Amino acid sequence: MPLGPCWAVRGRYAGCDLHASCLPLLDPGCNPPALFSRAPEGHMRRTTGCGRWRRETEAGMVDAAAIKALTGRDGRKAVLAILRDGMAIAATIAFSVAIGNPLVTVACLWVIGAFQYALGDALLHEGAHGNLFQDRKLNDRLDVLYGLPFLRTMASFKTEHLRHHGQLGRDGDYLVRDYREFGLDGPHSPVVVWFLRPLLGWPAWYYLRRIAHYPPACLRRLALAWGGALALAAVAGVLPQFLLYWVLPLLWCRYAYFYWSEIADHHNTRGGTRTRLNRLVNWIQHNKGYHAAHHRFPAVPWFNLPAAHDELDGADPDDLSGGPLDTWRQIRRGGASLAGQAAAG
């Protein structure tokens, strides 16, 4: 049976805390956000979430039963994913301390940052969609594990992420603003944008400014959590180690990974969203690279996104990336950015 446009709103997606963001994408009576993309012939074209869903539904390209079978949440897998990331960080710290070489330490910081991104971004994102645990409140409360240690709260993240899903490619989407401020809507140096800025720590400066706009309740939670962590580290006599092995990779490396992912997900795509298929990266980042499947089926948890991707018939091969080098070539191939395209619309 083909998947009707409203299935995700009326059915399983009602279990997702961000379900309202899917209304403009899936409801056949909606006024959908436009996804501006660069057509292969070089002309601007506009595609809409509703229109594409209608075409796929009419053609029988999306199987409702197949997708619904992929939406089940599994709390055991969520716990194992959280433990995996925490243990990977701890093991990397132990390895760096045991070796005691500065170059090894720098390399380890980037490994730590990669798993900080996996825990504090990829799993926080899954929790925001209610895809970690059956208990929706538990997804929120456990931001003490995948939110607060990374200078984020579930409440503040949900507010921003709902706009991204509901207004993808329009001025209400925070990525449009970010891409403009990154300079992606005009002439720019890809080397500066892709390499120099993140290696110099620019993403931390850019993203940390958002904390000032958090609601007071979120700011109080962050102040309490971070004040307590710093005080505990000082009392335990490990404050230098805490700053080196948690704060530095958080600000330098984890924000760099986040910055790279934000650009790679949507910038300079043909159809609006890029799918990155590198196995190692997806293993570390909990299948975050299957971004087109996520936007189409937000109720599908991370461990089933590869199967959901297989249901996406007719995906533009120009938006499939086999790894960082493919993504690099795609973002350099020319064409307006999401910001410039939104302005043009």
Residue-level pLDDT, tens digit, the chain, 345 residues: 333 332 233 333 334 545 443 433 333 333 333 333 443 332 223 333 333 433 443 344 677 888 999 999 999 999 999 999 999 999 999 999 999 999 999 999 999 999 999 999 999 999 999 999 999 999 999 999 999 999 999 999 998 898 899 888 888 899 999 999 999 988 888 889 999 999 999 999 999 999 999 999 999 999 999 999 999 999 999 999 999 999 999 999 999 999 999 999 999 998 889 999 999 999 999 999 999 999 999 999 999 999 999 987 656 788 999 988 899 888 887 544 454 445 444
20 contact partners, CB below 8 Å, separation of at least 6: 162, 166
> What pTM was estimated for this model as a whole?
0.83
57 contact partners, CB below 8 Å, separation of at least 6: 2, 3, 4, 5
What pLDDT sits at residue 314? 57
What pLDDT sits at residue 70? 95
Give the span between the Cα atoms of 336 and 339, in whole angstroms.
Answer: 8
What pLDDT sits at residue 334? 59
Place of tokens 């958080």: 250
Which of these, 317, 344, 173, 338, lies nearest to 264 by C-alpha position? 338
What pLDDT sits at residue 138? 97
What pLDDT sits at residue 221? 98
Give the span between the Cα atoms of 339 and 174, in whole angstroms.
Answer: 10
Which of these, 264, 114, 95, 250, lies nearest to 178 by C-alpha position? 264
**Whole-Å CA distances, 15 to 69, 80, 300:** 15, 22, 11
The SS3 call for residue 320 is strand
**Whole-Å CA distances, 127 to 99, 123, 306, 316:** 36, 6, 18, 29
What pLDDT sits at residue 245? 99
The SS3 call for residue 63 is strand
Which of these, 344, 301, 314, 254, lies nearest to 16 by C-alpha position? 301
Q: Indicate the helix (H) or strand (E) that contains 276.
A: strand 275-276
Q: Indicate the helix (H) or strand (E) that contains 321.
A: strand 320-321
What pLDDT sits at residue 187? 85
Assign residue 35 a region (left: φ > 0; alpha: ψ between -120 and 50; beta: otherwise). beta
